[in-house]
Amino acid sequence: MDVRLPRFVAVDWNGTVVPWFGQPPYPEALTMLEALREAGVYLVVVSHATPQQIQADVARVGLVADEVHGVGAKASMLVQLADRYGDGVMVGDSPQDARAAQAAGLPFIQACFEGMSFLGRGLGPLRDWSELPLLLTNRPIAGE
């Protein structure tokens, strides 16, 4: 992965990495997320789910993440991550994900799989996980 990478990437789960709990990941999702971690990016899963539910599903697909959070509202978790690491990106599929990223001052990459419509804000759309390096290259960098 030969791009200027953020310090952290936060990803939503349902609709972004997998269509829904218990289903296989979208093609290339795990490969791209693992490549980010191998390149030194701190990887965080932030899902609107119970902690037990999201931790079990992340383990089921074999994704190794630095943190996995089941939360009622994503914005406060994203603010904490931005405060800790500065330069980061949120990848999600919904208007709620976009609003949470905006509240934390993070660029948002919208996943648009299986007929999802692009919201028209943020970076994206991400229609295939292999597009992630290009979208990360085009993001605003914190402090610049």
- Domains of the chain, residue spans: 1-9+23-39+50-62+72-84+130-139
Question: Residue holding tokens 């191998």?
Answer: 38
How do strand 108-111 and strand 42-47 relate by DSSP bridges? unpaired
Share of the chain above pLDDT 90, in %: 78
Question: Residue holding tokens 């972004």?
Answer: 16
Count how many residues are written for the chain. 144
Q: Which tokens sit at 57?
A: 């599903």
> Nearest-CA neighbor of 33 among 58, 52, 53?
58
Residue 143, pLDDT above cutoff 60: no
Provide the 10 A C-beta neighbour count for residue 5. Answer: 19
d(CA 53, CA 4): 33
Looking at residue 122, what is its pLDDT? 75
Residue 125 sits at φ, ψ, to 5 deg, of: -80, 155
Q: Are 93 and 116 in contact (CB under 8 A)?
A: yes
pLDDT in tens, 99-137: 999 999 999 999 998 777 777 767 778 999 999 988 887
